[in-house]
Chain A
């Protein structure tokens, strides 16, 4: 274990920031980033699942037989996704309706399973929580950034507030499916450009 606790946390914020460095979990990234609010909500929900499942997987890593580990990880993740789903229905119902099908789909988000398999099953609980928190916050940041770009260009608003004057013609392409792909592709290009310097 060469890395310190802080390093495990911060690598999720830049070095391995999903979905740009780790190209995993693209579906929620494309689907929910129509606005900053949705992106932020989805990011927080995913972070919660990521931290809890990382913690539990890491606690149980010596108990789970390696042959059926994936099935066990998925059940652990599905449990926390159900928790998030019920919590959101209770406390954030409008957001729950907005995100819809993508909340139960956190269970099949490759990032969550990927971290459980690649990190939490090999490291102790404290490091795993740090890793989950870092990756989760990185994911939230990316989602919010993408949501901001698409919302500002596509709707002319930022977090529901008007950004441009009334003469602004919204660039609706950005909030539709094709815009999501192109926008993510171009952001990935910018990240590569920034990383190669």
Chain B
């Protein structure tokens, strides 16, 4: 159990997917202007990432490695992720149209969210067992959600301030992200 706990902590805080591993920055900057969209995006990513993590692990272990065609990994993984995203999109469009409208372009863009693909590849590279892969997928996704929501909270306040013109929008966003990343950097000594 101790190992699993360490894995969870390290995936959420120490190796935070956005702030320490530099993955998933486009939706991180893109959907962080309003809390509502940020929460929606975080939920969508948690759902897609967990599913994708499990499915790609199974495909990799039993299909790609079994048949000796690991070089097709990139193509296989992206296809799984793309179809999953399509599924989530259809589901949201039917059942939660307001959220669907709020997420707008960023929902199909989860396909090209490198956090999803990145975690799937990390799971394979670290040679995780099924349970470890499952837990790391959830924990990384929670880490993404946490970082996104924290960042949105800060960014909503920053908009109220008087930011010099050339620094506005994405530029100040990146500097803010740097400061939050610095805060997360402090977790490095934990484990």
Residues of A within 8 A of B (CB): 23-27, 30-31, 70-71, 74-75, 78-79, 81-82, 85-86, 101, 104-105, 107-110, 113, 176-186, 188-190, 192-193, 196
Contact with A along B156-184 (1 / 0, CB 8 A): 00000000011110111111011101100
Which residues of B does A touch, CB under 8 Å? 19-26, 29, 71-75, 78-79, 82, 108-109, 111-114, 116-118, 121-122, 125, 165-168, 170-175, 177-179, 181-182, 185
The distance from the CB of A20 to the nearest CB of chain B, in whole angstroms, is: 9
* A86 to B70 CA separation, bound complex (whole angstroms): 12
Which residues of A have CB within 8 Å of B74? 78, 81-82, 85, 104, 107
Total A-B Cβ pairs within 8 A: 123
What's the Cα separation between A100 and B75 when bound, in Å?
Answer: 17
A177 and B20 within 8 A (CB): yes
Complexed CA–CA distance, A104 and B79 (Å): 14
The DSSP consensus for interface residues of chain B is helix
**A150, B13: Cα distance in complex, Å:** 24
Whether the Cβ atoms of A82 and B75 lie closer than 8 Å is yes
Majority DSSP secondary structure for residues of A touching B:
helix
Instruction: Return the chain A residue nearest B72 by Cβ.
Output: A82
A177 touches B181 (CB 8 A): yes
Among B112, B125, B177, chain A packs the most CB atoms within 10 A around the CB of B112
Q: Which of A79, A86, A179 contacts B75 (CB 8 A)?
A: A79
Give every chain B residue within 8 A of A109 (Cβ-Cβ): 112, 114
Residues of A within 8 A of B168 (CB): 192
Complex Cα gap A70–B83 (Å): 11
A104 to B60, CA, bound (A): 15
Would you give the shortest CB distance from A123 to chain B, in whole angstroms?
Answer: 21
B29 contacts A23, CB within 8 Å? yes
Distance to closest chain B CB from A35 (angstroms): 15
- Which residues from chain B contact A113 at a C-beta distance below 8 Å? 112
Contact B19 A177 (CB under 8 A): yes
Question: Are B185 and A181 in contact, CB atoms less than 8 angstroms apart?
Answer: no
Whether A70 lies near B111 (C-beta < 8 A) is yes
What is the minimal beta-carbon distance from B132 to any residue of chain A, in angstroms?
17
Give complex CA distance A101, B125 in Å.
Answer: 9
Chain B residue numbers with a CB within 8 Å of A25 are 26
Complex interface: chain B residues within 8 A of A79 (CB): 75
- Cross-chain contact A185 with B117 (CB below 8 angstroms): no
Query: Which single residue of chain A is at the shortest CB-CB distance from B122?
Result: A101
Chain A residues lying within 8 Å of B109, measured Cβ to Cβ, are: 110
**Residues on B with beta carbons closer than 8 Å to the beta carbon of A78:** 74-75, 78
Cα-based distance from A108 to B48 in the complex (angstroms): 15
Asked if B181 and A75 sit within 8 Å, CB to CB, the answer is no
- In angstroms, Cα B118 to Cα A86, docked, is 19
Interfacial chain A residues near B19, Cβ < 8 Å: 177
Shortest CB–CB separation between residue A193 and chain B, in angstroms?
4
- Supply 14 A–B pairs (Cβ within 8 Å), ascending by A: A26-B29, A31-B22, A70-B108, A85-B74, A105-B118, A108-B114, A177-B19, A180-B22, A182-B174, A185-B174, A189-B166, A189-B171, A192-B171, A196-B165
Note all chain B residues with C-beta closer than 8 A to A71.
Answer: 79, 82
Nearest CB in chain B: distance from A181 CB, A? 3
Contacts A70-B111, A185-B172, A186-B175 given; indicate if A104 touches B25 (C-beta within 8 A): no
CB B143 to nearest CB in A, in angstroms, measures 13
